[in-house]
Amino acid sequence: MSFTSIVKDEVSRLDTSKLENLSELSAILRVAGTFNNTINITVENNTVARRIFKLIKSVYSISASITVRNKKLGRGFTYILTISENQKEILNDLSILENNKYLSIPKEYMVSDEEQIRAYLRGVFITAGSVNDPKTSRYHLEFVLDTKEFSEFINKLLNEYDLNSKIIKREKKYTVYIKEAEKISDFLRVIKAFSAVMYFEDIRIYRDHKNMTNRLNNCEQANVDKIFLTASKQIKLIEKLYELDMVDLLDEKLKEVIEYRMKYKESSLQELADIISVETGVEITKSGLNHRFRKLKELLEKIEKNK
């Protein structure tokens, strides 16, 4: 079962008030309903279909008929709920129809408090929403909607919770989407999918920890590579000075640096400075050590230039 189905199954089993049921039904019919002589609501999830049947019966004391059809290529089923009575009264009551005209967005009373907004967004999600499993490589939640006006309305509701949702047009549809993991988790809380939130957060924290560990390991490896490269360059410099018989002509401080570098070839500059400070009793800093190697490099460059 996909993560989207898990979330839809969870919220389809919520116990909600009559006011919430009205807002949720309004969203469901607005997104998944078609209206002619009957009201037809088409969904692709069995639990969602049962939820809608229960909401209609609870609010209007009407039993919708259900037709089950095979989807194309035999991939699952489509569920069509049909309401054959009191259609106009229901559509007016749910702020979908007013004065025999269909409304693109509901009247304010349908989303007038927080619980109604949550219910409305829940209705939109179970009929038009999807969310990636956090185990996948990217976080993504979206709603595929029919008009610009309605998508902007849903986007506004989402951003009342600071979910940073955005809209993009795809062919003839509009997609409202959320990309940030933390914001997707917040949305699941908004629609009261609390078990899904716990699962999502567990996976998100694990992935974030794993990514941080990988970054630290990469950083550590980069530091090791840098240390090795620096030491290798210093050793080559010293070997060149030996080839030119120049080491004996150097002052004692530079000879000391050469002796310790050749003795501790894999040490970093800081480690080498600490070793010299301990073994000679004369403190030298990493910066001071680096300065001496610079002098050796300048000396070699001068010799090669004169040659």
Q: Where are the domains of the chain?
A: 3-192, 220-306
232/266 Cα distance (integer angstroms)? 8
Q: Residue 262 CB: number of other CB atoms within 10 A?
A: 13
Tens-place pLDDT, residues 149-164: 999 999 999 999 999 9
State pLDDT tens for residues 37-63: 899 999 999 999 999 999 999 999 999
Per DSSP, 175 falls in state E
The CA-to-CA distance between both ends of the chain, in Å, stands at 76
Residues of the chain scoring pLDDT < 50: none
Q: Hey, what amino acid is at 154?
A: I
> In angstroms, rounded to a whole number, what is the distance separating the alpha carbons of residues 252 and 282?
13
Rounded-to-integer distance, Cα 12 and Cα 6, Å: 10
Q: Would you state the pLDDT for residue 31?
A: 95
Which residues, including other chains, have CB under 8 Å from residue 1's CB and lie 6 or more apart? 9
Confidence (pLDDT) at 234: 84
For the domain bounded by 3-192, which CATH number is listed?
3.10.28.10
Task: Judge contact between 54 and 91, C-beta under 8 A.
Answer: no
pLDDT for residue 147: 93
Rounded Cα gap, residues 181 and 139, in angstroms = 6
Cα distance between residue 43 and residue 25, in whole Å: 13
Rounded-to-integer distance, Cα 64 and Cα 62, Å = 6
| Dihedral sign for Cα atoms in the order 36, 38, 43, 48 | positive
Closest-CA residue to 176 (of 191, 147, 155, 162): 155
- What contacts 246, CB < 8 A, 6 or more positions away? 299, 300, 303
Residue 101's alpha-carbon distances to 13, 91, 92, in angstroms, are 33, 10, 10
- How high is the pLDDT of residue 211? 66
Q: What is the pTM of this model?
A: 0.69
Per-residue pLDDT, 47 = 94
Helix (H) or strand (E) holding 177: strand 173-178
Helices then strands (H, E): number in the chain? Answer: 11, 10
Task: Mention every residue, 6+ apart, whose C-beta is less than 8 A from residue 201.
Answer: 185
Q: Which two tokens stand for residue 46?
A: 């069995």
CA atoms within 13 A on the CB side of 178: 27
Which tokens go with 144?
Answer: 């595929």
